[in-house]
Chain A
Amino acid sequence: MARPENTLAFDGGWEYDPAPEATDHVHIAARYGLFIDGEFVRPATGRYFDTINPATEERLARIARAGTEDVDKAVAAARKAYSGVWGRMKPAERGKYIFRIARMIQERAREFAAVESLDGGKPIRESRDVDVPLAAAHFFYYAGWADKLGYAFPGRSVKPLGVAGQVIPWNFPLLMAAWKLAPALACGNTVVLKPAETTPLTALKLAEVIADAGLPPGVVNIVTGAGDTGAAIVEHPGVNKIAFTGSTEVGKIIQRALAGTNKSYTLELGGKAANIVFADAAIDQAVEGIVNGIFFNQGHVCCAGSRLFVQESVADEVVAKLKDRMETLIVGDPLDKNTDIGAINSKMQLDKIEEYLKVGQAEGGTLHQAGGRVPKKGYWCRPAFFTGVSQSNRVVQEEIFGPVLAIQTFRTFDEALEKANNTPYGLSGGVWTDKGAKIFRMTQGVRAGVVWANTFNKFDPTSPFGGYKESGLGREGGLHGLDAYLKPGA
């Protein structure tokens, strides 16, 4: 398709004025303790760290740094609550508590959304329309399972594991807390949860909700800190199960650390998903899917469609349309309702992304980055993609975890499938074609836990999520998400 001279203009002209989300309803304390045994307590370490707003680099609050003594206390509280109350409670009553949490998240949705965007940098449109509603829905979904577990395991009786240690990432702070807590609690376990170091606030707000909901003390304990706090939970002898979401690198460390123990574990790790566009696809919707696949949440998504494969005959067209679409993505203030791409979560992550932008070019890739200005303060990365790269490039092989797409072309179905699977990862994949039979051949062929056909980056509490190969083991969400928190036995 001839295009070069006939280009569209997206700069100048009618622009959208800032439409900032009000934050007058948001209360963030100057300092947060650890939520142990039903109350906020000072850390035994006496130490605190800052959580900052990545859009302004300003401090939002001081957060307690939990040490081993604090983790001991949290595990002891969880054990006591498990043996004394939660493990013995009538399942239907357990469910009612979890329903209550769901409802209270809905009531405080605006506050949760604003805090999520302040602390993590994601656009308010996403925290408002995706993260927070899905978190509430997740509690709602699993609440109903509490008294129906027998129906989920035909021919087998099941019982809870005990105390679950859960370590979650910074890309979907509240939603990941919901993914971890809801099934664990519904199945009768008690929990020690550690939010990510850069995004602890919504988990601490959730602790307030949990306290307000009247959950018995110790059923949920939230300890903040860095990697060493997470390690203390993983290695704690009083924990029966570890659920981790994060990098493959750390996932392997955890799997090793748990070797020789009787702890069960589920790991939700990295990815480098192939998003495959055939020439017969609904091209405009495919372009939209490419955008959702890689630019959603600044690309801080383990299942991001970070490797795009386009059939050669439509490659120029798709790339041209993608460029146009990228010019309409608004990068900036996460609290602005019109922002499409917010702040990169941390300085460290920004450095990593920028390093990959350099590496990709040094390896011979052609970088295209959308135009537009970004604020002076804060951590920003305009949406970008590489062309002229192949399977052997680092930007194609490694998880960048930012708004950076690697584009390759293919000629035949078999070539696309082979390239798609030519990776140690296997979390997700995407396929775009108008032909039904081809969809199923591809969705069956891609070795990944979630495959989106003619859509991408969709999530639902009823839908299991998790990886093949080095993208992890076990599933979260849906009926299959129950497995992670139960074992056989009466």
Chain B
Amino acid sequence: MNATAIDKRTPDLSRVPAVDEVGVNERVARFQSRSIKTASKIEALKLALSMIDLTTLEGQDTPGKVRQLCQKAMHLHDAMPDLPHVAAVCVYPNMVGVAKSALEGSGIHVASVATAFPSGMSSLEVKLDDTRMAVEAGADEIDMVISRGAFLAGDHAYVFDEIAAVKEACGDAHLKVILETGELRTLDRVRRASVLAMHAGADFIKTSTGKIQPAATMQVTLVMLQAIRDFFAETGRMIGMKPAGGISNAKLAIHYLVMLRETLGNAWMTPEWFRFGASSLANDVLMQLEKQATGAYQSADYFSKD
């Protein structure tokens, strides 16, 4: 990849192309009309599993709960051979240490939300401390939230500088920047925020915290993928994409993969460049895989919750 130097100034968002909502809906409908069958379906289901950031982000999370989730991450459904493991386990900063030791040697990353997740309503100092704490505890990936209020108020430079500062605080950890598209509301803003985040140093851009509805939709994900494509064309830098929240079944996950394939091509079709932020997706994918293997529709009772 012949990456050129990134311009470390706030990009001119007025040059970001407009987005037409109806056109986006129509394109998404085309992805959804793809019919994925037989071997290509099995391949997609396994790929989807490998892209999952298995997530628990609850106030009631405990070390015990997190350890259970890590166990699930490593042993999705041992009754089935040749399954990949998920990409990462995603937790709050104070659970990073627990997850890190539970996942030791598994190759599964620990992702931590940070920066006063989910609202981001705190000072930059607190956000940077939050980030450093998670990184020091062993987080491989940091999922930060942008300051939506500042973005909506038009203070793009503030948002840009904040992302750049968090990126610096991340050190070697990968930075995923959550736009919280459900609060940005329009696709035009989603596209602009994507451009802003990528220029500020995001390794991934991510739709949602999961705490705001609507969370990920195919529409906002498409717009973000297109922003990634344009950024790649301009700079040669690949940026990852993570839709999060609301992707709870295998069929929908396959639609996302179709969209990914037809928008960014094969290079992005790996956990390195695409993730699903989801808590219940894995089991539905597993049930679909079992159905493909046996021909029988499955019951949730036969698949461990975590």
- Enumerate chain A interface residues (CB-CB to B < 8 A): 1-3, 5-6, 8-19, 125, 129, 280-285, 288-289, 320, 324, 328, 337-338, 434, 454-455
> Given A285-B23, A289-B23: A8 and B40 within 8 A (CB)?
no
Name 23 A/B residue pairs within 8 A (Cβ), A-sorted: A1-B230, A1-B233, A2-B234, A3-B233, A6-B232, A10-B262, A10-B265, A10-B266, A13-B265, A14-B47, A15-B40, A16-B36, A16-B37, A17-B38, A19-B36, A129-B33, A282-B19, A285-B19, A288-B23, A288-B27, A324-B265, A454-B22, A454-B23
> Given A8-B265, A328-B262: A337 and B33 within 8 A (CB)?
yes
Nearest B residue to A16, CB-CB: B40
What chain A residues lie within 8 Å of B232 (beta carbons)?
A: 6, 8
Which of A2, A13, A18, A288 is B233 in contact with, Cβ under 8 Å? A2
Which 4 pairs between the two chains have the least Cβ-Cβ distance?
A285-B23, A13-B266, A19-B35, A8-B265
Which of B18, B34, B269 is A13 in contact with, Cβ under 8 Å? B269
CB distance from A405 to the nearest CB of B (A): 18
B252 on the interface (CB 8 Å rule)? no
Which of A6, A12, A282 is B20 in contact with, Cβ under 8 Å? A282
Q: A11 vs B267: C-alpha distance in the bound complex, in angstroms?
A: 10
A interface: dominant SS:
loop
Q: A446 vs B236: C-alpha distance in the bound complex, in angstroms?
A: 40
Interface residues on B, range: 35 or more
Judging by beta carbons under 8 Å apart, are A16 and B34 in contact?
yes
- Enumerate chain B interface residues (CB-CB to A < 8 A): 2, 17-20, 22-24, 26-27, 33-41, 43-44, 47, 226, 229-230, 232-236, 257-258, 261-262, 264-267, 269
Of A8, A18, A284, A434, chain B has the most CB atoms within 10 Å of the CB of: A284
What chain A residues lie within 8 Å of B258 (beta carbons)?
A: 16
What chain B residues lie within 8 Å of A12 (beta carbons)?
A: 266
Nearest A residue to B235, CB-CB: A6
Judging by beta carbons under 8 Å apart, are A5 and B24 in contact?
no
Q: A6 vs B265: C-alpha distance in the bound complex, in angstroms?
A: 12
CB distance from B82 to the nearest CB of A (A): 17
Of A6, A13, A454, chain B has the most CB atoms within 10 Å of the CB of: A6
Judging by beta carbons under 8 Å apart, are B18 and A281 in contact?
yes
Q: A144 vs B23: C-alpha distance in the bound complex, in angstroms?
A: 31
What chain A residues lie within 8 Å of B23 (beta carbons)?
A: 282, 284-285, 288-289, 454-455
Judging by beta carbons under 8 Å apart, are B261 and A284 in contact?
no
What chain B residues lie within 8 Å of A337 (beta carbons)?
A: 33-35
What chain B residues lie within 8 Å of A280 (beta carbons)?
A: 18
Q: A241 vs B79: C-alpha distance in the bound complex, in angstroms?
A: 72
Q: A213 vs B149: C-alpha distance in the bound complex, in angstroms?
A: 62
Of A5, A282, A328, chain B has the most CB atoms within 10 Å of the CB of: A282
Q: A13 vs B264: C-alpha distance in the bound complex, in angstroms?
A: 12
Judging by beta carbons under 8 Å apart, are B265 and A9 in contact?
yes
Given contacts A8-B264, A337-B35, 4 further A-B contacts (CB under 8 A): A9-B266, A19-B35, A338-B35, A454-B20
What chain A residues lie within 8 Å of B22 (beta carbons)?
A: 454-455
CB distance from B196 to the nearest CB of A (A): 18
Judging by beta carbons under 8 Å apart, are B20 and A285 in contact?
yes
Judging by beta carbons under 8 Å apart, are B17 and A282 in contact?
yes
Judging by beta carbons under 8 Å apart, are B267 and A9 in contact?
yes
Q: A284 vs B41: C-alpha distance in the bound complex, in angstroms?
A: 28
Judging by beta carbons under 8 Å apart, are B33 and A13 in contact?
no
CB distance from B112 to the nearest CB of A (A): 30
Which of B41, B43, B229, B235 is A8 in contact with, Cβ under 8 Å? B229
Judging by beta carbons under 8 Å apart, are B226 and A284 in contact?
yes
Judging by beta carbons under 8 Å apart, are A285 and B27 in contact?
yes
Judging by beta carbons under 8 Å apart, are A288 and B33 in contact?
no
> Given A9-B265, A282-B20, A285-B23: A14 and B229 within 8 A (CB)?
no
Judging by beta carbons under 8 Å apart, are B261 and A14 in contact?
yes
Judging by beta carbons under 8 Å apart, are B20 and A14 in contact?
no
Q: A18 vs B35: C-alpha distance in the bound complex, in angstroms?
A: 8
What chain B residues lie within 8 Å of A434 (beta carbons)?
A: 18
Q: A434 vs B188: C-alpha distance in the bound complex, in angstroms?
A: 11
CB distance from A208 to the nearest CB of B (A): 29
What chain B residues lie within 8 Å of A454 (beta carbons)?
A: 20, 22-23
CB distance from A434 to the nearest CB of B (A): 4
CB distance from A338 to the nearest CB of B (A): 6
Q: A14 vs B232: C-alpha distance in the bound complex, in angstroms?
A: 21
Judging by beta carbons under 8 Å apart, are A285 and B24 in contact?
yes
Q: A357 vs B235: C-alpha distance in the bound complex, in angstroms?
A: 35
CB distance from A453 to the nearest CB of B (A): 10
CB distance from B34 to the nearest CB of A (A): 6
Q: A8 vs B24: C-alpha distance in the bound complex, in angstroms?
A: 21
Q: A6 vs B22: C-alpha distance in the bound complex, in angstroms?
A: 29
> Given A6-B236, A13-B269, A338-B35: A288 and B26 within 8 A (CB)?
yes
What chain B residues lie within 8 Å of A19 (beta carbons)?
A: 35-37
CB distance from A131 to the nearest CB of B (A): 15
What chain B residues lie within 8 Å of A9 (beta carbons)?
A: 265-267
Judging by beta carbons under 8 Å apart, are A284 and B19 in contact?
yes
What chain A residues lie within 8 Å of B233 (beta carbons)?
A: 1-3, 6, 320
What chain B residues lie within 8 Å of A129 (beta carbons)?
A: 33
Nearest B residue to A19, CB-CB: B35
CB distance from B225 to the nearest CB of A (A): 10
Judging by beta carbons under 8 Å apart, are B34 and A284 in contact?
no
What chain A residues lie within 8 Å of B35 (beta carbons)?
A: 16, 19, 337-338
Q: A16 vs B27: C-alpha distance in the bound complex, in angstroms?
A: 18
Judging by beta carbons under 8 Å apart, are A283 and B17 in contact?
yes
CB distance from B161 to the nearest CB of A (A): 26
Q: A125 vs B32: C-alpha distance in the bound complex, in angstroms?
A: 12
Q: A324 vs B261: C-alpha distance in the bound complex, in angstroms?
A: 11
What chain A residues lie within 8 Å of B230 (beta carbons)?
A: 1
Q: A2 vs B4: C-alpha distance in the bound complex, in angstroms?
A: 11
> Given A10-B266, A14-B266, A337-B35: A1 and B18 within 8 A (CB)?
no
CB distance from B260 to the nearest CB of A (A): 10
CB distance from A153 to the nearest CB of B (A): 34
> Given A6-B232, A19-B35: A281 and B2 within 8 A (CB)?
no
Judging by beta carbons under 8 Å apart, are A14 and B236 in contact?
no
Q: A66 vs B227: C-alpha distance in the bound complex, in angstroms?
A: 58
Judging by beta carbons under 8 Å apart, are B19 and A17 in contact?
no
What chain A residues lie within 8 Å of B39 (beta carbons)?
A: 17
Judging by beta carbons under 8 Å apart, are B37 and A17 in contact?
yes
Q: A281 vs B18: C-alpha distance in the bound complex, in angstroms?
A: 6
Nearest A residue to B187, CB-CB: A282
What chain B residues lie within 8 Å of A14 (beta carbons)?
A: 40, 43-44, 47, 257, 261, 266, 269
CB distance from A10 to the nearest CB of B (A): 5
Which of A1, A17, A281, A288 is B40 in contact with, Cβ under 8 Å? A17
